[in-house]
Chains A and B, each alone.
Chain A
Amino acid sequence: MNKSSNTLIDRKEALKRVSYLLGGAISAPTVLGFLNGCTASTASAKGFSPEQMNFLGKVSDVIIPKTDTPGASEAGVPKFIDDMIFIFWNEEGRADFIAKMVAFEKKAASELGKPFTEASAEEQQNFVQKEHDTVFGGNVDWDAPRPFIWMMKELTITGFFSTEAGMTQVLQYKLVPGYWDGCLTFEEAGGKVWANP
């Protein structure tokens, strides 16, 4: 038996695997401090401003839009992000997120010729998609400090699939399954992934 193919799993691999299994539930800031000069923030010590919440809602809605099921902001994702950044993340991670958010807003405003939140849905979508593809389009660098779009994607997905809309309408969820069957087809099981396996 070839034992050399068995390697002890390292931390990076573990993080990657967690991101497979839980759909990116890496909510702790894995980034190291990487401030690029932006320190300004209109956020109070307790949370994002209404304008910032609006901005975060618009970005998250590009990541998970409203269709026949609710989108990110309707499901409550901005509040989730606010809680994570201001209650869970440490000072360093919070400063990093805010700095990158401000830089993202600035870049959007300069490219779109207006604030991101005032751009059309299509313009918002194109801008976020472009930023997304820059990071995730080719070889993904798992070791690099996380760009804003990466953090937003993780936070939006994690947040959305912990909400009622995400868990029960996009995925499926049964509080009381009632029975166990480990051998039925995907269709027989409802044709959707279990939100809470």
Chain B
Amino acid sequence: MRLNLKAKQENTYDAIVVGSGISGGWAAKELTEKGLKTLMLERGRQVEHIKDYPTHSTPHWELPYNNQVPPEELKHYEKQNRTGYTIRQSSKHWWVKDTEHPYTEVKRFDWMRGYHVGGRSIMWGRQSYRLSEMDFEANAKEGIAVDWPIRYNDIAPWYDYVERHIGVNGINEGLPQLPDGQFLPAMEYNCVEKEIKKRIESKFNDRMMTMGRSANLTANHKGRTQCQYRNMCMQGCPYSAYFSTQSSTLPPAMATGNLTLRPDSIVTEILYDPETQKATGVRIMDAETREFKEYYAKIVFLNASTVGSTWILLNSTEHFSDGMGNASGELGHNMMDHHLGVGAWGIFEGFEDVYHHGRRPNGIYIPRFRNMGGATNQPNFIRGYGYQGGASRNGWKKSVAELSIGEDLKKEVNEPGPWEFGMGGFGEWLPYHENKMALTTDVLDKFGLPTVVFDVAAFENEYNMRDDMADSAAEILEAAGLKNVQKWKDDPNPGLGIHEMGTARMGRDPKTSVLNKWNQVHEVQNVFVTDGACMTSAACQNPSLTYMALTARAANHAVEELKKGNL
């Protein structure tokens, strides 16, 4: 008995954070800085900053096979390779093997993820935009799904707070649909983008172009070095020049002395005491030894990613037959992503002597211009989309057919090709109850654990919006004088935006939502979910910055409530 008590004491913390990615790192930083002894559990392997980024400074020619992964090896990444840009020699180690971590697709669903300390904060696209008041109001105004339980003013100070810490570059434009922020100096347009911006803004009253807002440092910041314009971010940055858990949130959390990080720890369920109606901790499977262990705490933060956190709640069935926090029946439902793979491209004639130096890990942004009142309202879809893109001058002028062979080839490849400009849309996906994930024991992963079944689709609003995204992109480029303008429009494959959201949504009513306005599970108030699962609507902005702000806000609330004795 004494031994058990001692063991329990050793496994007891003030707080447990499940997951070490973008939001988990923030939870750990905030909770430890406020004095809580915190255990961070990560299901994947340890990754130490820089030391464990095997290709962070590998030049292209040292990557085998022109950076391609052989077909035999690709068989392990059949789904992870659907992006077309992630399974390379330079970055394949950041993505799970589908053969080890299977899932089921009622309809195609591209679930892109890596299991390691830092999670997707290592591979993310770094675009950082605030949601606006119109995003938080939209569901209520239009009678879609449920109302967000917060408004822009609730989150604005937390956007300020996280932007100041992580370092986001950008330009304040004073737009209602894209709030200003606490920005480092913006990255520069190239000459062609400057000209195209001028032309777009002279031709359209409702559209403008701004520089992409990204979590890359344009100045030295909090002990981190500014961007060196290598554009090798996904290989890991030895300068700490972009935000990741390792570069930005883990160091201050560690410095408090309050953090214990335990990798290889797969949380299988949340422990619950029916008497107090609170969670008491979590059960984990050690990924190395396959042994189960229990850890205890006063509060639990779920930051295991949208699908991961939802999996844990759905799998916590000891006291909840349909999963913890699922009294509403909404847990696992309302899955959203951003739909992309639609846009336009063209040739820009001119600026033939202009070239560039460096590889800018950022592009231009055309903020939403649809359904913002008056003439911007559309007859056949609601909400909107933004475009991301840029002008570039890649490679040489001639095609493989046109190039000479012999000595002349070496000269011809040094004649740069034309300037091109391309942009692709990021569209808002509405929350539909029927878009869902569930667990199955028919297919088990390599640990013998239940796996996920996805049943997610796009509907009329998304398809109509996509038509407009392609047409408007071409219209903008033609108005800007580009030549040979061509549209593209792929299928809206859910998951491919790698912005899965919404499966444990926030709301005002426990009957129709999983989380309250502080990201607490309605029925188990000392469990907080602050990753993408909490999103009540998707908006069209890249969402990670919002997860960070909501996490910091929820952590602050959790500590206040603990102090008051309410948790």
A: residues with CB less than 8 A from B are 1-3, 5-9, 13, 16, 19-27, 62-65, 67, 69, 80, 83-84, 87-88, 90, 125, 128-129, 132, 136, 140, 142, 150, 153-154, 157-159, 161-164, 167, 170-171, 173-186, 188-197
Please state if A175 and B57 are interface contacts (CB–CB under 8 Å): yes
Inside 8 A of B402's CB, which chain A residues have their CB? 136
Given A6-B474, A162-B66, A194-B356, 5 other A-B residues pairs in contact with their CB atoms under 8 A? A1-B475, A3-B474, A16-B399, A180-B187, A184-B354
Mark each residue of chain B from 380 to 415: 1 if its CB lies under 8 Å from any CB of chain A, else 0. 000000000000111110111111011101100111
Instruction: Name, among A8, A20, A178, the residue most crowded by chain B CB atoms within 10 Å (CB to CB).
Output: A20
- A and B contact pairs by CB, cutoff 8 A, 25 listed: A1-B479, A3-B475, A6-B474, A6-B487, A7-B486, A19-B401, A26-B400, A62-B406, A64-B405, A87-B71, A161-B413, A162-B60, A180-B188, A180-B227, A181-B188, A182-B360, A183-B354, A184-B354, A185-B353, A185-B354, A191-B414, A192-B414, A193-B413, A193-B414, A193-B416
Please state if A8 and B486 are interface contacts (CB–CB under 8 Å): yes
The contact of A24 among B193, B393, B399, by CB within 8 Å, is B399
Whole-angstrom CA separation of A140 from B416 in the bound complex: 22
Please state if B401 and A136 are interface contacts (CB–CB under 8 Å): yes
The contact of A22 among B60, B227, B395, B486, by CB within 8 Å, is B395
Inside 8 A of A180's CB, which chain B residues have their CB? 187-188, 227, 229, 356-360
Inside 8 A of B409's CB, which chain A residues have their CB? 63-64, 157
The contact of B406 among A27, A125, A162, by CB within 8 Å, is A125
B191 sits at the interface (CB 8 A): yes
Whole-angstrom CA separation of A27 from B65 in the bound complex: 11
Given contacts A3-B474, A8-B488, A21-B394, contact A177 B400 (CB under 8 A): no
B485 sits at the interface (CB 8 A): yes
B433 sits at the interface (CB 8 A): no
Please state if A186 and B60 are interface contacts (CB–CB under 8 Å): no
The contact of B486 among A9, A67, A80, A87, by CB within 8 Å, is A9
Inside 8 A of A161's CB, which chain B residues have their CB? 413
Inside 8 A of A197's CB, which chain B residues have their CB? 356, 359, 392-395
Q: Is the interface of A mostly helix, strand, loop or mixed?
A: loop
Whole-angstrom CA separation of A196 from B400 in the bound complex: 18
Inside 8 A of B34's CB, which chain A residues have their CB? none
Smallest CB separation, B120 vs chain A (Å): 24
Q: Looking across the interface, which residue of chain B has its beta carbon closest to that of A20? A: B399
Smallest CB separation, A138 vs chain B (Å): 11
Smallest CB separation, B277 vs chain A (Å): 55
Please state if B406 and A65 are interface contacts (CB–CB under 8 Å): yes
Whole-angstrom CA separation of A121 from B7 in the bound complex: 79
Inside 8 A of A83's CB, which chain B residues have their CB? 64-65
B464 sits at the interface (CB 8 A): no
Whole-angstrom CA separation of A88 from B354 in the bound complex: 38
Instruction: Name, among A65, A150, A170, A197, the residue most crowded by chain B CB atoms within 10 Å (CB to CB).
Output: A197
Inside 8 A of B415's CB, which chain A residues have their CB? 193
Please state if B399 and A177 are interface contacts (CB–CB under 8 Å): no
Please state if B190 and A183 are interface contacts (CB–CB under 8 Å): yes
Please state if A23 and B395 are interface contacts (CB–CB under 8 Å): yes
Given contacts A8-B488, A23-B395, contact A170 B413 (CB under 8 A): yes
B445 sits at the interface (CB 8 A): no
Inside 8 A of B474's CB, which chain A residues have their CB? 3, 6
Given contacts A8-B486, A177-B357, contact A132 B405 (CB under 8 A): yes
Given contacts A1-B478, A90-B71, A182-B193, contact A196 B359 (CB under 8 A): yes
Please state if A173 and B405 are interface contacts (CB–CB under 8 Å): no
The contact of A178 among B358, B394, B399, B417, by CB within 8 Å, is B358
Please state if A179 and B229 are interface contacts (CB–CB under 8 Å): yes
B228 sits at the interface (CB 8 A): yes
B489 sits at the interface (CB 8 A): yes
Inside 8 A of A158's CB, which chain B residues have their CB? 66
Given contacts A87-B65, A185-B353, contact A5 B485 (CB under 8 A): yes
Please state if A164 and B61 are interface contacts (CB–CB under 8 Å): yes
Inside 8 A of B57's CB, which chain A residues have their CB? 175
Inside 8 A of B61's CB, which chain A residues have their CB? 162-164, 167
Smallest CB separation, B472 vs chain A (Å): 11
Given contacts A167-B60, A183-B190, contact A177 B416 (CB under 8 A): no
Please state if A182 and B190 are interface contacts (CB–CB under 8 Å): yes
Inside 8 A of B401's CB, which chain A residues have their CB? 19, 136, 140, 142
Please state if A62 and B405 are interface contacts (CB–CB under 8 Å): yes
Whole-angstrom CA separation of A13 from B399 in the bound complex: 12
Mark each residue of chain B from 293 to 316: 1 if its CB lies under 8 Å from any CB of chain A, else 0. 000000000000000000000000
Inside 8 A of B354's CB, which chain A residues have their CB? 183-186
Q: Looking across the interface, which residue of chain A has its beta carbon closest to that of B70? A: A87
Inside 8 A of A3's CB, which chain B residues have their CB? 471, 474-475, 478
Smallest CB separation, A9 vs chain B (Å): 5
Inside 8 A of B190's CB, which chain A residues have their CB? 182-183
Whole-angstrom CA separation of A88 from B229 in the bound complex: 32
Smallest CB separation, B275 vs chain A (Å): 60
Smallest CB separation, A61 vs chain B (Å): 10
Smallest CB separation, B321 vs chain A (Å): 49
Whole-angstrom CA separation of A3 from B416 in the bound complex: 29
Please state if A9 and B478 are interface contacts (CB–CB under 8 Å): no
Q: Which residues, 62 to 84 on B, are CB-close (under 8 Å) to A?
A: 64-68, 70-72
Q: Looking across the interface, which residue of chain B has its beta carbon closest to that of A172? A: B414
Inside 8 A of B471's CB, which chain A residues have their CB? 3, 6
Whole-angstrom CA separation of A142 from B402 in the bound complex: 12
Whole-angstrom CA separation of A5 from B275 in the bound complex: 69
Q: Looking across the interface, which residue of chain B has its beta carbon closest to that of A64? A: B409
The contact of A179 among B194, B357, B479, by CB within 8 Å, is B357
Inside 8 A of A6's CB, which chain B residues have their CB? 344, 471, 474, 478, 485-487
Smallest CB separation, A115 vs chain B (Å): 21
Q: Looking across the interface, which residue of chain A has its beta carbon closest to that of B360? A: A180
